Chain A
Amino acid sequence: MEWWKIGVGIWLTAVFAVALSFPIVPEPKHWYEFPVIPGLEERARIIFFHVPVAWTTVVAFLVALWNGVKYLRTMDLEADAASSNSAGLGLLFAVLATVTGSIWARFSWGSFWNWDPRETSIFVLLLIYGAYFALRSAIESEERRARLSAVYAIIAGVTAPFFVFIMPRIMTGLHPGSRGDVQGSGPVVQFHMAPNMLLVFFAALIGFTVLFAWMMEIRLRTSRLELHFMNADSEQS
């Protein structure tokens, strides 16, 4: 087993332990105390889980884009497998971000779904990548499927950072970090977070990204085995 796979286990365990055990107090005096963010209180801890998951979504969609480009340049079916596997993982993380955000919204905004700009944009993103898999399953020919979905993954991948990072930030809304949100939430986006929170936050981002890389590697190796057996089958027949 590669060292980084064991490392990510220890790393994320430490992140989870710190994220959930450091007390949130009005005036932190020790390094192990998080400051209260007005309006968020204990719910601020979601930033160590929900935000890294949303971040991983974008990373996954960009990896899908990159492998789409790679497929169009090399016409290598392995790049197509990488692209679709990455888009699949991105969709999984997007669903997790939506569900966790929705639960959080129930207790912060009073309703599971408010059609806040942030919620609307992730909804559109889910539709875009849902359509990607509808497109893939509709095409029989492997090469044709690979080519069309590569083009789709590139166009969709370009929209992903816009929907996650830009759109919800230039509009006024309920989500922390929306335009006009001066209290509590602003610091999250402008990185005015308390240094210890910021450290745990970035540690979580790194941990989730490496976890994604591992999941991606497992899926890729499975696809490689499938391709191997498919080629062996076609050689026999």
Chain B
Amino acid sequence: MDFYKFLSQNSLYVVLFVVLIIWAGIYSYLFRLDRRLRRAEDQVEKHHHER
């Protein structure tokens, strides 16, 4: 309850949470994209060796 009160009086921290959530979303997107790409590269590499 006090936490909500604190946030409503210090709206800067609301902005902080919004920014951190957006950043977490973008970061995890990049992270997973990187991992998927690595898997695709590995498969191409494997395929290349098999031929």
How does the 8 Å CB contact mask read for B11-51 relative to A, with 1 for contact and 0 for none? 01101100110011001001101110100110010000000
- Asked whether A13 is an interface residue with its Cβ less than 8 Å from the other chain, the reply is yes
* Inter-subunit contact B16/A21 (CB<8 Å): yes
Which A residue's beta carbon lies closest to that of B34? A218
Asked whether A215 and B34 contact (CB < 8 A) given A20-B15, A21-B16, the answer is no
Give the interface residue-count category, chain A: 10 to 19
**Is B16's CB under 8 angstroms from A20's CB?**
yes
Distance (Å) between the CB of A94 and the closest chain B CB? 18
Residues of B within 8 A of A225 (CB): 37, 40-41, 44
Which residues on the B side are within 8 Å of A215 (C-beta)? 30
- In the complex, what residues of B have CB within 8 A of residue A1's CB? 31, 34-35
Q: A225 to B33, alpha carbons, bound, how many Å?
A: 14
Number of A-B contacts (CB under 8 A): 43
Query: Given A5-B31, A13-B23, A225-B44: A218 and B12 within 8 A (CB)?
Result: no
Give the residue name and chain of the B residue nearest to A42 (CB).
B12
A1 vs B12: C-alpha distance when bound (angstroms): 34
| Interchain nearest-CB distance for A166 vs B (Å) | 31
Q: Would A20 and B19 be within 8 Å (CB), given that A221-B41, A225-B40 are in contact?
A: yes
How many residues from B make CB contacts under 8 Å with A? 18
Contacting residues, chain A, for B31 (C-beta < 8 A):
1, 5, 9
Residues in chain B near residue A228, CB distance under 8 A:
44
Report the Cα distance A142→B33, complex, angstroms: 27
Identify whether the interface residues of A are mostly helix, strand, loop, or mixed.
helix
Asked if B33 and A218 make an inter-chain contact with CB atoms under 8 angstroms apart, the answer reads yes
Q: Are the C-beta atoms of B20 and A16 separated by less than 8 Å?
A: yes
Other-chain residue from A5, A12, A13, A21 in contact with B12 (beta carbon distance below 8 A)? A21
Cβ–Cβ < 8 Å partners of B37 in chain A = 218, 221-222, 225
Q: CB-nearest residue of chain A relative to B48?
A: A228
Q: Are A16 and B16 in contact (CB under 8 A)?
A: yes
A13 in contact with B20 (CB, 8 Å)? yes
The smallest C-beta distance from B2 to any residue of chain A, in angstroms, reads 18
Q: Are A17 and B34 in contact (CB under 8 A)?
A: no
Q: Mark A1-42, 1 if CB is under 8 A from B, else 0.
A: 100010001001100110011000000000000000000001
Contacts A1-B35, A214-B34, A228-B44 supplied; 11 other A-B pairs, CB < 8 Å: A1-B34, A5-B30, A12-B27, A13-B23, A16-B16, A20-B16, A20-B19, A21-B13, A218-B30, A222-B37, A225-B40
- A-B pairs, top 9 by smallest CB distance, nearest first, are A20-B16, A9-B27, A16-B19, A221-B37, A21-B16, A16-B23, A218-B34, A20-B15, A218-B33
